[in-house]
Amino acid sequence: MSSLESRVALVTGASRGIGAAVARTLAARGALVAVNYAGSADAAAAVVAGIEEAGGTAAVFQADVSDPVQATALVEAVTARFGRLDIVVNNAGITRDGLLVRMSDEDWDAVVRTNLTGAFTITRAAAKVMMRARAGSIINISSVVGLTGNAGQANYAAAKAGMIGLTRSVARELASRSVRVNAIAPGFIETDMTCELSPAVREAALGQVAMGTFGQPEDIAAAVAFLASDEARYITGQVLAVDGGMTFV
Ligand code: NAP
């Protein structure tokens, strides 16, 4: 297992679910972690407290990544606080599900602004820091539905597919500066985002998973830690599905 000792990592949406697990895992491997959240201040503080109790270093940073001004300021604040920025995990995300013909402009915009524009703005700001340092790893948390599409999630699937295009394009732009950009496409992971789904939808989803079980946030965190590390130093522009065999593409 490659160490992330003294690397500075920003994890967006790290107050709960996958982002919280990513923050804990990166900190356990020695990274100094910026825990971003939008509204869940207590949950974010609890993530930081847990990291500190385990002997790690972390700090909370409130920012709504769907607002380009706040997202840019977030990257600047983290870089100023820790003096560098080595790892960015674009994880913050929301769903506003509905069938296409009933999907409002607001639900389309909210999902695209948070999931895709947020990742773009954070990546643009982080790239400036990382290009100067000639090092860095950016990991975008996409989704299997960005690869396959999903009825009722036109907004979410479009944003997640957009993150893959963003990943591949920016990977090409930044490779010569030794900045790597990859995406992870989680399958069905047990978090707040998925616990609200009806038993019927969960059962149908489980039927698609070759391994027969849902994933845990730690399964995604382990993949993030690998892509962030020097063990992945020759990997860029890739999309790694972590989905128990939901998709084979
Ligand atoms: P979650 O439990 O609902 O947590 C979402 C996180 O994103 C929270 O920390 C939330 O912060 C943050 N967030 C939401 N909007 C934000 C904004 N505008 N600015 C900053 N932070 C914001 O979700 P999750 O299941 O862990 O999902 C994490 C990521 O994985 C998402 O991008 C999701 O699309 C992706 N993903 C999840 C699954 C799955 O099965 N769970 C599958 C594929 C992909 P607050 O707590 O402050 O609201």
Q: Is the CB of 16 under 6 A from ligand 1?
A: yes
**Where in the sequence is the domain holding 13, given as residue range(s)?**
8-240
In which residue are the tokens 């940073």 written? 61
Ligand 1 atom nearest residue 15's Cα: 9
Please answer whether residues 86 and 137 qualify as being in contact, where contact means their C-beta atoms are separated by less than 8 angstroms. Answer: yes
Name the phi and psi angles at 234, rounded to 5.
-110, 20
Asked, for residue 195, whether it belongs to a domain, the answer is yes
- CA of 173 from ligand 1 middle (Å) equals 27
Does position 248 have pLDDT exceeding 90, yes or no?
no
Asked, for residue 1, whether it belongs to a domain, the answer is no
pLDDT confidence of residue 197: 85
pLDDT confidence of residue 1: 62
Asked, for residue 246, whether it belongs to a domain, the answer is no
CA 7/CA 188 separation, integer angstroms = 29
Asked, for residue 91, whether it belongs to a domain, the answer is yes
- Binned at pLDDT 50, 70 and 90, residue 196 comes out as confident
Mean pLDDT of 93-108: 98
Q: Which of the listed residues 10, 18, 25, 40 should we mutate to test ligand 1's pocket, taking the one with most ligand atoms within 8 A of CB?
A: 18
Overall size of the chain counted in residues:
249
Asked, for residue 223, whether it belongs to a domain, the answer is yes
CA 84/CA 102 separation, integer angstroms = 45
Helix segments in 65-198, DSSP class H:
68-82, 105-111, 118-133, 145-148, 154-174, 192-195
Domain count, the chain: 1
Helix segments in 143-246, DSSP class H:
145-148, 154-174, 192-195, 199-206, 217-228
Read off the pLDDT of residues 4-59 as tens digits, 9 standing for 90 and up: 999 999 999 999 999 999 999 999 999 999 999 999 999 999 999 999 999 999 99
Read off the pLDDT of residues 134-150 as tens digits, 9 standing for 90 and up: 999 999 999 999 999 99
Asked, for residue 180, whether it belongs to a domain, the answer is yes
Please answer whether residues 181 and 170 qualify as being in contact, where contact means their C-beta atoms are separated by less than 8 angstroms. Answer: yes
Please answer whether residues 148 and 247 qualify as being in contact, where contact means their C-beta atoms are separated by less than 8 angstroms. Answer: yes
Does position 100 have pLDDT exceeding 80, yes or no?
yes
Please answer whether residues 92 and 12 qualify as being in contact, where contact means their C-beta atoms are separated by less than 8 angstroms. Answer: yes
CA 249/CA 233 separation, integer angstroms = 23
Asked, for residue 62, whether it belongs to a domain, the answer is yes
Q: Is the CB of 146 under 6 A from ligand 1?
A: no
Q: Is the CB of 113 under 6 A from ligand 1?
A: no
Mean pLDDT (the chain) is: 97
Residue from 91, 81, 154, 160 nearest 123 by CA? 91
Please answer whether residues 187 and 144 qualify as being in contact, where contact means their C-beta atoms are separated by less than 8 angstroms. Answer: yes
pLDDT confidence of residue 249: 62
Asked, for residue 200, whether it belongs to a domain, the answer is yes
**By three-state DSSP, how is residue 209 classified?**
coil
Q: In CATH, what number is assigned to the domain containing residue 180? A: 3.40.50.720
Q: Is the CB of 167 under 6 A from ligand 1?
A: no
- CA of 142 from ligand 1 middle (Å) equals 11
Model pTM score = 0.98
- CA of 75 from ligand 1 middle (Å) equals 18
CA 132/CA 66 separation, integer angstroms = 25
Ligand 1 atom nearest residue 186's Cα: 43
